[in-house]
């Protein structure tokens, strides 16, 4: 499902304008949730966290402010037994398997990992049940993935953010940059930089006489949830929003380290943060209830809180530099 509508603004003829092309398809897919498995991992992570904590001043778990009788161990030999059974080499091997390839929710890879975890836990003697859910998910269109383009006064494309994206074709299952649940349409207009896209950023713009209404905004990732950035931009009348990761927030340049991945872990110019922009929790069309056969389902139009109202697309700072 690709709908492409375009809004033209009354910009001066020689104004540069930007377009956000969004080819988003939303598909309902059955996904599975292995809750027991997740909790098991959480416990593993917690144990790992406390195991390497060097500030422990007494035996066992120490929670500041919690009464001793709630956190002291009745039998420290039990926690010792658990700690001794944890093998860092196995954690590393498992993490490698789980993170080796992307596994976006609802994908075959995701389901394969669920089955793998189920098998592993069953081998350890646990009972695991896989429960299918039918939820609303959002994916970029394979044929025309989203992008941001810079147009000149003659509507000729002078720059396409795609040019500064990684070449994903040699990687397995990589999903191109997108923000889930963005509405599917193309918007065009002048671009306004709006800081981190918080209410105070738009209020400050108004104090200097800049009203983003009818324009596209570009904001930095950080400080608030990306979905709130989209909702706030829409509330101030923006017609579309671009979000990028600022080098000052995601590289080591402030500490004098100019290296980026793959040399080190800092974000490279091509890195674009994906993620949902729906500001509710869980499945948008069955909020608060399990998305099973019995659930009442909202239509996409009546979802509370509403689905994102304006198109949104994430880019890397390599692309942001070109259009800012």
Ligand X SMILES: *[C@@H]1O[C@H](CO)[C@@H](O)[C@H](O)[C@H]1NC(C)=O
| Residues near ligand X (CB under 6 A) | 14, 152-154, 167, 169-170, 206, 211, 213, 237
CB–CB of 162/292 below 8 Å? no
**Minimum gap (Å) between residue 239 Cβ and ligand X:** 11
CB of 77 or CB of 169, closer to ligand X: 169
CB of 27 or CB of 213, closer to ligand X: 213
- Beta carbons within 10 angstroms of residue 69's beta carbon: 7
**Minimum gap (Å) between residue 184 Cβ and ligand X:** 25
**Minimum gap (Å) between residue 141 Cβ and ligand X:** 18
**Minimum gap (Å) between residue 237 Cβ and ligand X:** 6
Q: What is the number of alpha carbons within 13 Å of residue 245 lying toward its C-beta?
A: 16
CB of 10 or CB of 301, closer to ligand X: 10
Q: Which residue has the tokens 């997740």?
A: 38
CB–CB of 151/188 below 8 Å? yes
CB of 160 or CB of 249, closer to ligand X: 160
**Minimum gap (Å) between residue 163 Cβ and ligand X:** 9
CB of 108 or CB of 167, closer to ligand X: 167
**Minimum gap (Å) between residue 64 Cβ and ligand X:** 45
CB of 162 or CB of 274, closer to ligand X: 162
Residue 94, burial from CB neighbour count under 10 angstroms (0-12, 13-18, 19+): middle
CB–CB of 273/243 below 8 Å? yes
d(CA 324, CA 319): 9
CB of 201 or CB of 283, closer to ligand X: 201
**Minimum gap (Å) between residue 26 Cβ and ligand X:** 28
């Amino acid at each position: 499902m690709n709908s492409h509508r375009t809004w033209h603004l009354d910009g001066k003829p020689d104004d540069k304008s930007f377009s956000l092309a969004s080819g988003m398809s939303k598909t309902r897919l059955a996904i599975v949730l292995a809750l027991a498995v997740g909790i098991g991992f959480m416990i593993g992570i917690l144990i790992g966290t406390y195991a390497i904590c060097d500030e422990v001043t007494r035996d066992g778990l120490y929670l500041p402010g919690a009464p001793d009788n709630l956190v002291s161990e009745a039998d420290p030999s039990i926690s010792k037994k658990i700690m001794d059974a944890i093998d860092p080499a196995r954690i590393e091997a498992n993490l490698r398997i789980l993170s080796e390839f992307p596994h976006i929710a609802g994908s075959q890879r995701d389901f394969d990992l669920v089955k793998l975890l189920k098998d592993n836990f069953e081998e350890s003697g646990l009972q695991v049940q896989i429960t299918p859910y039918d939820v609303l998910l959002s994916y970029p269109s394979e044929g025309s993935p989203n992008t941001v383009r810079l147009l000149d006064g003659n509507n000729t494309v002078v720059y396409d953010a795609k040019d500064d994206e990684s070449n994903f074709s040699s990687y397995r299952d990589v999903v191109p940059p997108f923000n889930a649940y963005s509405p599917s349409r193309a918007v065009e207009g002048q671009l306004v930089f709006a800081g981190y896209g918080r209410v105070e950023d738009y209020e400050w713009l108004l104090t200097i006489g800049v009203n983003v209404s009818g324009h596209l905004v570009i904001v930095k990732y950080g400080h608030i949830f990306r979905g709130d950035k989209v909702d706030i931009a829409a509330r101030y009348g923006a017609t579309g929003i671009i979000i990028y990761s600022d080098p000052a927030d995601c590289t080591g340049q402030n500490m004098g380290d100019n290296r980026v991945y793959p040399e080190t872990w800092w974000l490279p110019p091509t890195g674009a943060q994906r993620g949902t922009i729906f500001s509710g929790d869980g499945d948008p069309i069955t909020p608060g209830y399990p998305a099973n056969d019995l659930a009442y389902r909202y239509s996409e139009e009546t979802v509370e809180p509403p689905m994102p109202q304006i198109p949104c697309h994430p880019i890397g700072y390599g692309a942001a530099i070109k259009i800012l």
